[in-house]
Structure 1
Amino acid sequence: MVKLAGKEVGQTGYGLMGLTWRANPPSQEQSFRAMRAALANGANAWNGGEIYGSPERNSLHLLNEYFTKYPGDADGIVLSIKGGFVPGQMFPDGSEKNVRRSIDECLKVLDGKKFLDLFECARLDPKTPVEITIGTIAEYVKAGKIGGISLSEVNAQTIRRASKAHKISAVEVEFSLWATDILENGIAQACAELDIPIIAYSPLGKGFLTGQIKSFDDIPETSFIRLLPRFQRDVFDENLKLVKEVEQLAAKKGSTPAQIALAWVRAYSGRDGLPIIIPIPGATTEERINENMTEVTLSKDDVAAIDEILKKTTIIGGRYHDAGMALCEL
């Protein structure tokens, strides 16, 4: 077990995907089954967002409903919530006024049914110094209204600046077999130096590394990943080569590609001076969560073999389109 915001969590968390980036979110019943399965499997680091959905209906509303039905689960879960955007828009506003609005709204919707362990602005506001944003959140920590502060998609310099303003409990960044940037751009190094755990979102490459998406046409028409550069028709087959390599190793191990991808992320946790890394795969069904939480052990030779595959593999296209990448400090 490792600690996050002062509480013990499993090596794998759960991206609260019940209402995230989906035109047709699953039913409450299905979401609750998935959430219960996550907790039963030891995935007690839950990650959601005010930005996942609309101001009227987002992750926090689902959480309120869940903890109304299962109040006994609240204390065992470490909850991290992303906010700090302009209400109803996908653009950051890290000003004191908006950060207060965002945290207050999150606390209002949770309605005391679950303590907010970590709050993070989903992206850094380029117009507001990070010290102001962090200082504002810190007031809520000091008042005992939230447990700690996380950062999301920020670079090493910002991590260090923010840490001088207040203790940072976690840094959330994308990390997977096809998003290894943090190993070279100083982010992992900075987190290790400052003893900050990394929360690895999209450890399954937004579903690509599961092996379930064989062609562009397999992506649901309502899915936002249809818009992402790495999923486009002209690069799809080239990027799929990595998945095929993972599938071959999975077959040898008697596991699934998703399990291999998650095992590789976990293998990097604390390795060679790296920080603790907690992957948070998103899932909407009990079956998928049970699959993700079935741990596969990779030997040193397995990890080395995968690393060699990565060295000779070129992923084509950015993680997001240009506008999206402009909000990622990498």
Structure 2
Amino acid sequence: MPALIGKRVGPTGYGTMRMTWNPSPPSKEVCFETLNTALESGANFWNGGELYGTPDYNSCHLLKDYFTKYPQNAGKVVLSIKGGLARNEFRPDGSEENIRASVDECLRVLDGTKSIDIFECARQDPTTTIEKTVTILAKLVKEGKIGGIGLSEVDAETIRRAHKVHPIAAVEVELSLWSLDILENDVAKTCAELDIPVIAYSPLGRGALTGEIANFADIPEGDFRRLVPKFQGENFEHNLKLIKEIAALAKRKGSAPAQVALAWVRSLSNKPGLPTIIPIPGGTTKDKVIQNTQGVQTLSDEEMAEIESILKANGIKGTRY
């Protein structure tokens, strides 16, 4: 069963709920409670995918069950679905046959309880041009199977090429105090120029910025993060300096470190030359959703400048994957 990730989008008035995979999932009742709390908190842009789970039960199945029980909420939610992987394989397949099969399967599982407002291929197939991928998805928009087209983990040139074929509704990429890549590689700049919102996944640095991971041993056995260079050895010891600085700033503000980290991501939308940026924090329970959607929402210019100094003094070491 998918874990649930909720977040509020300050500048646009929308919020996001992301449904990804959790090896120790909460019950369906807890999931529904979390989804309802997210919606009540203004988080109405929900992101799921057929890859978040198994073919027999993924976030599309959960959504079908949820909207069957709460049909009145379907019209309140903007739903983005990620797919496009080869059947039963974790690799992109950009063929028209596969993309159509992916969309059709998601629609079959949702069973009419909710439309797909945005569909995005989880990764761009290196053997298929982005022009071909977007052309296929544009056909599905015209056919009424999906409402719009999103992109995931793409570079600036790919975004420009895609947008020439069909307007892009959103670009999903990693962004946090723990990962600044898109601010340095023209992805954010390009999205701003084309007026495309950025959906920032892992805005809490895969949990690092919550303050709940003090050392490598705090990461459970079998957890993906044990393989991530940022969490290992000397890299993590160095990266803890940034975490402690953010925690100290949060304490002065009377906030949780996670709230400050999310407020920083939201506040980037106010900077000239940057697009609307929507953070997607983790939260499998209503309490986590409440923490992530309430409290400090944006930071002052002085606080943003302070964090900029912290980042310059404590650059993150280690790669994302």
Q: TM-score range by the shorter chain?
A: over 0.9
Counterpart for residue 132 of structure 2: 132
Distance 1:137 1:295 in 2: 39
Counterpart for residue 305 of structure 1: 306
**Secondary structure of 1:48's partner?**
strand
Confirm whether residue 13 of structure 1 aligns to residue 19 of structure 2.
no
- Pairwise CA distance, 1:233: 3.4
**Secondary structure of 1:151's partner?**
strand
Distance 1:164 1:319 in 2: 29
**Secondary structure of 1:14's partner?**
strand
Distance 1:32 1:237 in 2: 38
- Pairwise CA distance, 1:11: 5.1
1:12–1:204 Cα change, 3 Å: farther
Flag as ranges the 4+ runs of structure 1 deviating above 6 A.
Answer: none
String of CA shifts for 1:145-195, please: whole Å, max 9, x gaps. Answer: 211000000001000110111110100000110111111101011111111
Q: Given that residues 152 and 171 in structure 2 are in contact (C-alpha distance below 8 angstroms), is that contact kept between their aligned partners in structure 1?
A: yes
Counterpart for residue 24 of structure 1: 24
Q: Given that residues 67 and 74 in structure 2 are in contact (C-alpha distance below 8 angstroms), is that contact kept between their aligned partners in structure 1?
A: yes
Q: Given that residues 23 and 223 in structure 1 are in contact (C-alpha distance below 8 angstroms), is that contact kept between their aligned partners in structure 2?
A: no
- Pairwise CA distance, 1:53: 1.0
Distance 2:81 2:71 in 1: 19
String of CA shifts for 1:265-304, please: whole Å, max 9, x gaps. Answer: 0000142121111111121111111000114141110010
Confirm whether residue 153 of structure 1 aligns to residue 153 of structure 2.
yes
Counterpart for residue 94 of structure 1: 94
**Secondary structure of 2:250's partner?**
helix
Amino acid at match of 1:10: G
- Pairwise CA distance, 1:226: 1.8
- Pairwise CA distance, 1:50: 0.9
String of CA shifts for 1:13-60, please: whole Å, max 9, x gaps. Answer: 22224xx1x222221111111111111100111111111111111110
- Pairwise CA distance, 1:124: 0.7
- Pairwise CA distance, 1:9: 5.8
Distance 2:262 2:310 in 1: 16
Distance 1:35 1:277 in 2: 22
Distance 2:270 2:299 in 1: 15
- Pairwise CA distance, 1:114: 0.7
Amino acid at match of 2:176: S
Q: 1:136-285 maps to which residues of 2 (within 5 A)?
A: 136-285=136-285
Q: Given that residues 238 and 316 in structure 1 are in contact (C-alpha distance below 8 angstroms), is that contact kept between their aligned partners in structure 2?
A: yes
Distance 1:282 1:117 in 2: 22
Q: 1:108-127 maps to which residues of 2 (within 5 A)?
A: 108-127=108-127
1:102–1:126 Cα change, 3 Å: same
**Secondary structure of 2:123's partner?**
coil
Identity %: 58
**Secondary structure of 1:242's partner?**
helix
Q: Given that residues 14 and 44 in structure 2 are in contact (C-alpha distance below 8 angstroms), is that contact kept between their aligned partners in structure 1?
A: no
Which range is displaced more, 103-112 or 234-243? 234-243
Q: Given that residues 259 and 291 in structure 2 are in contact (C-alpha distance below 8 angstroms), is that contact kept between their aligned partners in structure 1?
A: yes
Distance 2:226 2:294 in 1: 29
Q: Given that residues 48 and 80 in structure 2 are in contact (C-alpha distance below 8 angstroms), is that contact kept between their aligned partners in structure 1?
A: yes
Distance 1:94 1:109 in 2: 21
Distance 1:244 1:136 in 2: 47
Unaligned runs of 5+ in 1: 321-330
Distance 1:47 1:258 in 2: 20
Counterpart for residue 33 of structure 1: 33
Distance 2:116 2:284 in 1: 22
Amino acid at match of 2:19: L
TM-score (norm 1): 0.91
Q: Given that residues 23 and 222 in structure 1 are in contact (C-alpha distance below 8 angstroms), is that contact kept between their aligned partners in structure 2?
A: no
- Pairwise CA distance, 1:313: 1.4
Q: Given that residues 19 and 52 in structure 2 are in contact (C-alpha distance below 8 angstroms), is that contact kept between their aligned partners in structure 1?
A: no
